[in-house]
Amino acid sequence: MQTTEQIQKQIPLVWGEKVYLELSEGLRIPARKVVLDDGRETLYLYDTSGPEGYPLCEGLPPLRRPWILARGDVEEGPPRVPPPAACRVPSTLMRPKVLRGRGPVTQRFYARQGIITEEMRFVAAREQVDVEVVRQELAAGRALLPANINHPESEPMIIGPRFLVKVNANIGHSPLSSSLEEEVEKMRWACRWGADTVMDLSTGPDIYATRQWILRNAPVPIGTVPIYEAVEKVGGQPEELNFDIYLQTLIQQAEQGVDYVTIHAGVLKDYLPLVRNRRTGIVSRGGSIMAAWCQAHGQENFLYTHFREICQVLREYDVAVSLGDGLRPGCIADANDQAQMAELKTLGQLAQIAWEYDVQVMIEGPGHVPMNLLAENVEKERVWCHEAPFYTLGPLVTDIAAGYDHISSAIGGAMIAWLGAAMLCYVTPKEHLGLPTKEDVKEGLIAHKIAAHAADLAKGHPLALAWDEAMAKARFAFRWEDQFRLCWDPERAKAYHQTALPPGTSKQDDFCSMCGPQFCSMRRSRQIQHN
Amino acid sequence: MQTTEQIQKQIPLVWGEKVYLELSEGLRIPARKVVLDDGRETLYLYDTSGPEGYPLCEGLPPLRRPWILARGDVEEGPPRVPPPAACRVPSTLMRPKVLRGRGPVTQRFYARQGIITEEMRFVAAREQVDVEVVRQELAAGRALLPANINHPESEPMIIGPRFLVKVNANIGHSPLSSSLEEEVEKMRWACRWGADTVMDLSTGPDIYATRQWILRNAPVPIGTVPIYEAVEKVGGQPEELNFDIYLQTLIQQAEQGVDYVTIHAGVLKDYLPLVRNRRTGIVSRGGSIMAAWCQAHGQENFLYTHFREICQVLREYDVAVSLGDGLRPGCIADANDQAQMAELKTLGQLAQIAWEYDVQVMIEGPGHVPMNLLAENVEKERVWCHEAPFYTLGPLVTDIAAGYDHISSAIGGAMIAWLGAAMLCYVTPKEHLGLPTKEDVKEGLIAHKIAAHAADLAKGHPLALAWDEAMAKARFAFRWEDQFRLCWDPERAKAYHQTALPPGTSKQDDFCSMCGPQFCSMRRSRQIQHN
């Protein structure tokens, strides 16, 4: 097992110093401090990398615990669903007692009561907006702040179209490959490259243990799809599932600290015939499990029929619900079809039920969608789902980019985020082909951070504009080191710049190997302006 | 020097066979034949790789020469501007005599006369549209078919919003690096990865020789920026330039066979003050040269004042003009500013002048533009430039993606092509940092072929839809080899798929390492549909 220090060494902070700003009283807001122009300019960038210097086997400090306890509305006790007898987790990472709300303890609940929580103050400072905007957006359901009371290690963040566009990274081993340790490292690695949330999609053995390791070391909200674990418990046979097994799984995950769960409650029995003429049927894992269950039993999806009981659980821990699009299109030809749209309408109804219980909600979106059909997705989601934040998987704008699907997805992601989607689920170059490695995670994240940032710019977000402005100035002044510091991957930018220069050329020169000194337009342009 | 066979070995045609289809009488249309589903389905994809098996030192066969001669409107003779005394070109690649039109010999001229040329029939068959559509679009100036009579080696292609979106690859050595041989190889390499045209932006020594090598081996139209060579002739000092030097350069390039030339005739003296308050001034090499000349002489841009004489030359060889955006924005903050828009209007006036001479025209576009300002570029170009095809450099939707600018550019490129741009100039991962290697050329091309294809899909192009449909079917049927064949880079897709599988798993299996067999949604979905 590597320590976080060892992981950090793999990505030296050449691009600036990790600092904590006291922008709001008593709160330490993480930021990446980038000093430019020999100290004449300083930029503070949004930072998701989390606290440094804590060994993975001990976990991160419980930042939010005092805030949660001070609210006086939770009780502490042994978990209602205890951990499996033998699990590969050191005692330092186990929690013999867990917290449970005596009533709703969700950020939505507080927001609607007019209460400003520390979590709200934290995200307001982090996004540099007024805290009242945060409270209002949460109360209206236009944003969510995933913050399970049993995951006090997480640094609060907010998801909604009024805020910076967020990116989720999926990790998780499949039964065919990848170890528990690798997944924990991958999670930290993802945070270092800008993941705003991480979904642990592990299947196979050790699900509980993997999740425990991840949660105790995660500075960002963690999402899961509990049906994966439930179906493991019944030997992988969806028809053997029942609501009780699901509920036990859900409670255990809530008590571990999962911040949001994908629930495929919109895959209704009546929608299954709509899928028959599709090119690629059902491509959501959770969707296909629920479809198989409905078909085997001839009954309605139990996640739908028991949705209110589910919400009763979620509100006691502040687990947000991400309403899964189990019928999302898996190819361009299936985009925006009847099955997809029927489910989306149902997700809107479910969102209203969740809100009745003060559960925080977001809506999952596709998938594979050509550019001309993207806007319809956002518009229908906005109306049918009553402005609940939209969380899309890409979308991929073509089916044929396997090996380069992170680019296909960044195209669709940038556009849909500009149109209003609040969070993008990344896609890696391995999509459709295999499980991503650490390098794939990095490539997928950077592609989608670029997409999200492009959307922030298009929406005129001041923090995004300031970043690009700093880069433009550094570029025109040939401040190469400053340019590297402002990149997603400074090491790569620097290496690209230096390898292309012939020996003897200084990296301080006011040109690069692309044009050479004589044909450098900016160099010439500066001379013109100085005349 | 490598032979083309050696180059071809570097990219084995695992994805299908290069074939020639006789879709139009007497014309052999290149295509990539992809046999799918054990021979039950065949797809013919657009192919730019060019004839195979010809050694680079001999060049490609002059496919179009008989067509050109049969029209009876050209004369053959020694070049008006002879090659430099000593140049590194074997005699097999030199042409002691060149062709010149006795009047206009442009595809636009023929189209307006109602004449259907072989070139038009070729592109109609290649794009699978009616040849009358091709003729009408050319006659209206809404498309161009770059086809210098001295570059008979090129396979005709068409650029216009009614046709498949095209991608240009820039190559060319800078004085700091890269050899002549490398550039020729890079050109062939670019064609293999889908470049529809190639611009040779070489500067420094050996410009003439590099271009001769490239033209004789280029199966796609070649573009240049003649001002680069002209400024070399005067020791790199723009103020020493004059129109005569430029004209001699232009004639020599036209006689070598350059298919289109970028001319920065819209950088007017009056526009220079508009640039002063920009963040990054002038970022076009040609633009900065002309700006320096205007400033040094206090006179109007000689490319503007002599534009009619330039057109007189271009029409005699059918060299198309790409009206350069010398004042394009170099950063997000400068996008769509007064300088850019003033020049765009002037380009529209110049397009009309070129059309008077029956010279084919396209308009170059930015650059760095946030997503929210993209549509304005297309709309103004359409109106001000009278629907002349728009050829954009990206655009990059953020400034901060150095090292990953191909992704930033693919996002803007996909969007602007959907909105109506006809050709995208690629950007490689090395943009802003250094000269691209072959690997960078490939990465840049694939990113922009994905963008162009996504736009074709969004515009509903039947060839594009058929490709994605074939992929969707192969995916749902777990025909892995077929999926690889349908990718841009089959070798990479295959390698990604196989490395992630544990030993003993067959690549024929109906799942992959991403989800494993138990959680494969498509596998389950097929079972549901078969019930």
Confidence grade of residue B10 (pLDDT, cut at 50, 70, 90): very low
* Rounded distance between C-alpha atoms, residue B49 and residue A526, angstroms: 41
**Would you state the pLDDT for residue A507?**
56
Token pair in block for residue B104: 């206009």
Q: Tens digit of pLDDT for each residue in A87-134?
A: 888 999 999 999 999 999 999 999 999 999 999 999 999 999 999 999
Contact criterion met (CB < 8 Å) for B429 and A280: no
Three-state DSSP class for residue A219: coil
Is B230 within 8 Å of chain A by CB? no
User: Which helix (H) or strand (E) element contains residue B362?
Assistant: strand B361-365
Q: How far is the first Cα of chain B from the last one, in angstroms, to the nearest whole number?
A: 61
- Look at residues A238, A245, A328, A240 and name the one whose alpha carbon lies nearest to residue A282: A328
Chain B residues with CB-CB distance to A476 below 8 A: 279-281, 330-331
Helix A207-217 / helix A226-233 crossing angle, nearest 10 deg: 150
Is B525 within 8 Å of chain A by CB? yes
Confidence grade of residue A498 (pLDDT, cut at 50, 70, 90): confident
pLDDT mean over B169-192: 82
* Rounded distance between C-alpha atoms, residue B271 and residue B252, angstroms: 31
Instruction: Report A:296-325 residues touching B (Cβ under 8 A).
Output: none
Is A355 within 8 Å of chain B by CB? no
Query: Is residue A258 pLDDT above 70, yes or no?
Result: yes
**Would you state the pLDDT for residue B507?**
56
Q: Work out whether strand B361-365 and strand B320-323 pair parallel, antiparallel, or are unpaired.
A: parallel
**Would you state the pLDDT for residue B174?**
67
Token pair in block for residue B529: 């549909």
> Cβ neighbours of residue B72 under 8 Å, at least 6 residues apart?
none
Q: Tens digit of pLDDT for each residue in B30-62?
A: 999 999 999 999 999 999 999 988 998 999 999
Q: Work out whether strand B41-46 and strand B27-36 pair parallel, antiparallel, or are unpaired.
A: antiparallel
pLDDT mean over A151-158: 98
Three-state DSSP class for residue A35: strand
Chain B residues with CB-CB distance to A288 below 8 A: 521-522, 524-525, 528
Contact criterion met (CB < 8 Å) for B177 and A519: no
Q: Which of A86-95, A175-184, B249-258 has the highest mean pLDDT?
A: B249-258
Chain A residues with CB-CB distance to B15 below 8 A: none
Q: Pick the residue from chain A with its C-alpha nearest to B408.
A: A450
**Would you state the pLDDT for residue A1?**
37
Token pair in block for residue A133: 């905007």
Q: Pick the residue from chain A with its C-alpha nearest to B331.
A: A472
CA atoms within 13 A on the CB side of A194: 25
> Full-prediction pTM beyond 0.80?
yes
**Would you state the pLDDT for residue A2?**
41
Confidence grade of residue B427 (pLDDT, cut at 50, 70, 90): very high
Question: In whole angstroms, how far apart are CA B350 and each of A330, B49, B312, B347?
Answer: 47, 34, 14, 5
Question: How far is Cα of residue A390 from the mean position of the Cα atoms in its chain?
Answer: 12
User: Which helix (H) or strand (E) element contains residue B372?
Assistant: none
Beta pairing partners, A21: A29
Is A479 within 8 Å of chain B by CB? no
Chain B residues with CB-CB distance to A454 below 8 A: 370-371, 397-398, 408, 411
Query: Which runs of consecutive H residues, i.e. helices, occur in B36-130?
Result: 65-70, 107-112, 118-127
**Would you state the pLDDT for residue B5?**
43
> What order do you get walking across the sheet with B27-36 strand by strand?
B17-24, B27-36, B41-46
pLDDT mean over A264-290: 96
Q: Pick the residue from chain A with its C-alpha nearest to B481.
A: A433
Query: Is residue A519 pLDDT above 90, yes or no?
Result: no
Query: Is residue A297 pLDDT above 60, yes or no?
Result: yes
* Rounded distance between C-alpha atoms, residue B230 and residue B209, angstroms: 15
pLDDT mean over B121-147: 97
- Mutate: best of B437, B514, B527, B531, partner A, most A CBs <10 A: B514
Q: Tens digit of pLDDT for each residue in A214-232?
A: 999 999 999 999 999 999 9
pLDDT mean over B223-235: 96
Token pair in block for residue A288: 């296909």
pLDDT mean over B419-430: 98
* Rounded distance between C-alpha atoms, residue A165 and residue A411, angstroms: 15
* Rounded distance between C-alpha atoms, residue B65 and residue B71, angstroms: 10
Q: Tens digit of pLDDT for each residue in A428-471?
A: 999 999 889 999 999 999 999 999 999 999 999 999 999 999 99
Token pair in block for residue A165: 């566009």
Residue with tokens 């219980």: A357
Is B372 within 8 Å of chain A by CB? yes
**Would you state the pLDDT for residue A502?**
61
* Rounded distance between C-alpha atoms, residue B171 and residue B183, angstroms: 7
Is B463 within 8 Å of chain A by CB? no
* Rounded distance between C-alpha atoms, residue B494 and residue B500, angstroms: 10
Let me know: does A73 contact A216? Beta carbons within 8 Å: no
Q: Which residues of A101-119 are buried (b: 16+ CB within 10 A; e: fewer)?
A: beebbbbbbbbbeeeebbb
* Rounded distance between C-alpha atoms, residue A93 and residue A214, angstroms: 10
Give the closest-approach CA distance of B76 to chain A in angstroms.
Answer: 36
The total of other beta-carbon atoms located within 10 Å of residue A12's CB is 9
Question: In whole angstroms, how far apart are CA B190 and each of B8, B53, B167, B392?
Answer: 12, 17, 10, 18
Q: Pick the residue from chain B with its C-alpha nearest to A329.
A: B472
Is A36 within 8 Å of chain B by CB? no
**Whole-number percent of chain A with pLDDT over 70:** 92
Chain B residues with CB-CB distance to A502 below 8 A: 176-177
Chain A residues with CB-CB distance to B417 below 8 A: none
Contact criterion met (CB < 8 Å) for B457 and A284: no
What is the residue type of A479? Answer: R
Query: Is residue A176 pLDDT above 90, yes or no?
Result: no
Chain B residues with CB-CB distance to A285 below 8 A: 515, 519-521
Q: Tens digit of pLDDT for each residue in B99-132?
A: 999 999 999 999 999 999 999 999 999 999 999 9
Instruction: Report A:481-500 residues touching B (Cβ under 8 A).
Output: 483-484, 486-489, 492-493, 496-497, 499-500
pLDDT mean over B400-415: 98
Give the closest-approach CA distance of B51 to chain A in angstroms.
Answer: 25
**Would you state the pLDDT for residue B498?**
86
Contact criterion met (CB < 8 Å) for A516 and B174: yes
Q: Sort A148 into a burial class: Cβ within 10 Å, 0-12 / 13-18 / 19+.
A: buried
Confidence grade of residue A181 (pLDDT, cut at 50, 70, 90): confident
Is A204 within 8 Å of chain B by CB? yes
What is the residue type of A213? Answer: W
**Would you state the pLDDT for residue B504?**
60
- Name the residue with higher pLDDT: A351 or B18: A351
Query: Is residue A157 pLDDT above 80, yes or no?
Result: yes
Contact criterion met (CB < 8 Å) for B469 and A279: yes
